[in-house]
Amino acid sequence: MADKVKKIGLLTGGGDCPGLNAVIRAVTRTAILKYGYEVIGYKYGYKGLYNNDIVPLDLNSVSGILHKGGTILYSSNKDNLFNYQVEENGEKICKDVSDVAVENLKKEKVDVLVVIGGDGTLTSARDFARKGVKVVAVPKTIDNDLAATETTFGHYSALDVATDALERLHTTAESHHRVMILEVMGRNAGWIALRSGIAGSADVILLPEIPYDINKIVAKIKDRGESGRPFTIIVVAEGAKPKGGNVVVQKIVSDSPDPIRLGGIGNKLASDLEQLISNHEIRCTVLGHLQRGGDTSTYDRILSTRYGAAAVELIHEGRYGNMVCLNSDKMTFEHLENVIGQIKTVDLDNELVKTARSIGTSFGD
C-alpha cells in the first residue's frame, strides 16, 4: 500500500492524438470516485509544470470528453525542462530548470505526477523520477512504436482515418486509371502504413523498415496494367526511403528537442515515378495531422479508459517510476528505466508482412 496520497497532478506532452481526453477522464474519475484523491491538470505539458499553470480536474470538467480528440489540458512538444530555453541578460539560452518544476509540485502539495506522452515526454518523466518525484506514466504514440506495450491508444483511430482515405482514393484511382499515393505518419516504425495498407487494399506498402527499389514499384504498376487493372494504390510511411537513399526532411524546427520533421516522401515518390512511367497520372495525398484529429475510435476509447484507470491503481499500490503497459490484453507495468528509447519496429518476419505478401502486396523490395 502506498503512503497516504491526497493529490495527483496530470499532464499531457508531445503530439496530440485521439484518446488523450479519455485517459484524462479515466484518471480523474477513478482517482475521485474510487480513492478520493484530488486531481489537478498542468496546461501545455511540462511548460505548465514550469509556469505552475494549473486547472482543477473534477467530475464536471471531464464530463463529455470521452470521445473527443485532442487534450483539454493542451500539449507541447518543445518543452524539456532539463534543457529549457529561457532568456537571461537579453540572450536565449538552454538550461536545466527542473528544480523549478519540483518546487511547484511541492507548492501545490502534489503527491504524484501522472505523465501521458511518447518517448520524449517519458524520458523527462524518468528524469523527474530520478530526482525523487513520484511519477506514473501512460504511453502515447499513434505510431504504436513503444516496445514495452503491445498497443498504444490513438493508433487505431489513426488507422481508421488512413484506411478511410485509402478507400476514397481507390475509387478515383480506378475511375481515372491513376497511381494514387497516400503518405501517412510513421517516422521509424511503419505500423500505420502496414495495417492501413492491408485494410485499405493498397497494392504497394512502403515502410521505414524496408528500403524500397523504385524499379520494383514500377514493375508492380506495369504488372497490374497488363493484368487489366490500370491503377495502383500506394501507401508510404513518412520515414520510408529508397535503397541507398535517405529519408525526406520537410523542415528543421530549431527550438524543438527533436528538431527534424519528416515529410515529403510521397511527393518525391510521385516525381520519381513520373520519370519512369508515361502512361499513368500520379497523384499524392499527404494525410498529415488529419491522423491526429477528430473523434476517438471505439477501441481507443476503451483502451484509453483502461490505461487511465490502471495508472491510478499503480498510484494506490505505490508503484512509482513505472509506465502502464498492455501485454496479452492485460494491463501491466514496466519501470521507466526500461522503456525509454526502446522502439518497436515492424519485423520483416512479422505475420502481417507475410500476410500482405501472400495476397500480392508489394513492399518495393
Which pLDDT value is given to residue 87? 84
User: Is the pTM here over 0.75, yes or no?
Assistant: yes
143 as an active site residue: the answer is yes
Q: Which pLDDT score, from 0 to 100, does residue 251 have?
A: 64
**pLDDT value of position 248:** 80
CATH architecture of 157-293: 3-Layer(aba) Sandwich (3.40)
Q: Where along the chain do the CATH 3.40.50.450 domains lie? A: 7-153+296-338
Per-residue pLDDT, 194: 98
CA distance 269 to 32: 52
CATH says 7-153+296-338 is which class? alpha beta
Residues of the chain with CATH 3.40.50.460: 157-293
Which position among 79, 111, 127, 143 bears the catalytic label? 143
pLDDT per residue of the chain (365 residues) written in tens, 0 to 9 = 456 999 999 999 988 999 999 999 999 999 999 999 999 999 999 999 999 999 999 999 999 999 999 999 999 888 899 999 888 888 888 899 999 999 999 999 999 999 999 989 999 999 999 999 999 999 999 999 999 999 999 999 999 999 999 999 999 999 999 999 999 999 999 999 999 999 999 999 999 999 999 999 999 999 999 999 999 999 999 999 999 988 888 766 666 656 666 778 999 999 999 999 987 789 999 998 899 889 999 999 999 999 999 999 999 999 999 999 999 999 999 999 999 988 999 999 999 999 999 999 999 99
